[in-house]
């Protein structure tokens, strides 16, 4: 019955003139030649099975002995197609890091850190992500009215602008407040402290002093919101250290958005973590988070650099590995946890270049 079914399609194809018959693409030609070898067919039998002339099959077989003709017959990989090792690396990273916050941008940054040139769109295409909308709708974000605030939003030197703020978290049945200070240029976490009570102005003054001691310098500007902890007493303490205190305008969060984004990262790690609800234990975990954040987390504003690398000025020159390139990559991937916390992990990608065989 299967042979009768195939005979119907074969007869319909043979009824057409040779020039009007559909052409076989390179992949189908390779399949036909492979089937002829596996089944032990001659050129005449193969041509009869697929509605071709025997001389066509003979020409295909002769082309296999010549590399140039074989590429034209069976197709050649495009110049811009990424190497299979690179494509495997993308899938392996997704398997090792299935976290929701570990997106395509983060995958691209880690691969660039390892010396592999790749874009976010290429990663999305490799992973074959299916989205209902190609472009996510975003509402218009108002820009602060002060036209001379660009030097505060985009500082060009480290420790020129610092950001500080307070957030509230809940651990099991207890509520804690966390205060932090962040460098606006490198996004380095300078100081972070947990409190099992409401934070006061003296607590914030002590936090800024600790940040200045750890970094060895003080900023020119310190940005905060309009909380009760950041009023006249806090401003006077900043001026005593040579720091100009800048308070955001009401309902203008963009000036202090960097530390607000940091708190989002902190809460996404802190909420699913199993913690003992004591101030001492949470402070220990926050110290571990500070080390991981500054040393291992790749920040979006720095492409493929961590905050510490942004301060030291590390430069990378990634290589684009393609199917027709002169180098073949041998890639190894490993995921290692920091301080035994699976949420605080670092992705290690080792790339070894191999000479392509002739």
Note whether 287 and 276 are within 8 A (CB).
no
Note whether 186 and 159 are within 8 A (CB).
no
Q: Does the CA dihedral 34-47-20-18 come out positive or negative?
A: positive
> If you count them, how many residues does the chain have?
358
The phi, psi pair for 21, rounded to 5°, reads -75, 145
> What is residue 321's predicted lDDT score, i.e. its pLDDT?
84
Q: Which residue did the predictor score with more confidence, 70 or 109?
A: 109
- For residues 109 and 111, give the distance between their C-alpha atoms in angstroms, rounded to a whole number: 5
In this structure, the answer to whether residues 95 and 160 fall within a common structural domain is no
pTM over 0.75: no
In percent, the amount of the chain with pLDDT more than 90 equals: 13
Where does the pLDDT of residue 236 fall: very low under 50, low under 70, confident under 90, or very high at 90 and above?
Answer: very high
Query: Is 146 a residue whose pLDDT tops 70?
Result: no
In this structure, the answer to whether residues 177 and 242 fall within a common structural domain is yes
307, exposed or middle or buried, with CB in 10 Å at 0-12, 13-18, 19+? buried
Q: Which residue did the predictor score with more confidence, 240 or 26?
A: 240
Domain that holds residue 332: 82-103+321-358
Q: If you average pLDDT over every residue of the chain, what do you get?
A: 82
In this structure, the answer to whether residues 67 and 39 fall within a common structural domain is yes
CA atoms within 13 A on the CB side of 210: 16
In this structure, the answer to whether residues 189 and 282 fall within a common structural domain is yes
In this structure, the answer to whether residues 172 and 87 fall within a common structural domain is no
- Among 18-27, 157-166, 310-319, 343-352, the range of highest mean pLDDT: 157-166
Q: Which of 23, 58, 74 is the last residue of a domain?
A: 74
Nearest to 12 by CA among 54, 51, 43: 51
DSSP state, 302?
G
Mean pLDDT over 311-316 rounds to 78
CA angle 110, 288, 256 (to 5 degrees): 75
């Amino acid at each position: 019955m299967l042979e009768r079914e195939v005979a119907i399609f074969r007869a319909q194809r043979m009824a057409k003139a040779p020039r009007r018959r559909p052409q076989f693409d390179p992949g189908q030609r390779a399949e036909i030649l492979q089937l002829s070898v596996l089944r032990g067919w001659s050129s005449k039998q193969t041509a009869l099975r697929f509605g071709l002339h025997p001389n066509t099959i003979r020409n295909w077989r002769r082309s296999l002995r010549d590399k140039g003709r074989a590429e034209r017959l069976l197709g050649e990989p495009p110049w811009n197609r990424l190497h299979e090792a690179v494509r495997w690396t993308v899938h392996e990273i997704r398997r090792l890091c299935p976290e929701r916050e570990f997106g395509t941008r983060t995958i691209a940054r880690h691969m660039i850190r390892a010396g592999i040139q790749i874009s976010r769109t290429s990663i999305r295409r490799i992973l074959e992500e299916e989205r209902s909308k190609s472009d996510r709708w975003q509402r218009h974000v108002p820009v602060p009215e002060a036209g001379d605030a660009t030097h505060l939003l985009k500082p060009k030197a480290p420790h020129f602008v610092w950001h500080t703020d307070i957030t509230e978290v809940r651990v099991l049945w207890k509520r804690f407040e966390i205060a932090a200070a962040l460098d606006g240029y490198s996004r380095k976490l300078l100081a972070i402290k947990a409190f099992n009570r409401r934070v006061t102005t003296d607590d914030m003054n002590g936090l800024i002093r600790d940040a200045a001691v750890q970094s060895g310098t003080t900023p020119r500007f310190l940005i905060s919101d309009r909380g009760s902890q950041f009023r006249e007493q806090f401003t006077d303490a900043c001026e005593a250290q040579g720091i100009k205190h800048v308070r955001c305008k009401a309902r203008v969060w963009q000036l202090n958005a960097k530390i607000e984004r940091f708190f989002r990262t902190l809460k996404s790690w802190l909420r699913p973590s199993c913690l003992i609800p004591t101030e001492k234990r949470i402070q220990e975990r926050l110290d571990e988070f500070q080390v991981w954040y500054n040393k291992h987390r790749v920040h979006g504003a720095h492409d493929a650099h961590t905050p510490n690398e942004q301060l030291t000025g590390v430069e990378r020159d990634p290589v684009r590995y393609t199917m027709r390139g002169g180098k073949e990559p041998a890639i190894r991937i490993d995921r290692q946890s920091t301080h035994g916390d699976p949420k605080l992990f670092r992705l290690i990608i080792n790339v070894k270049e191999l000479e392509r065989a002739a």
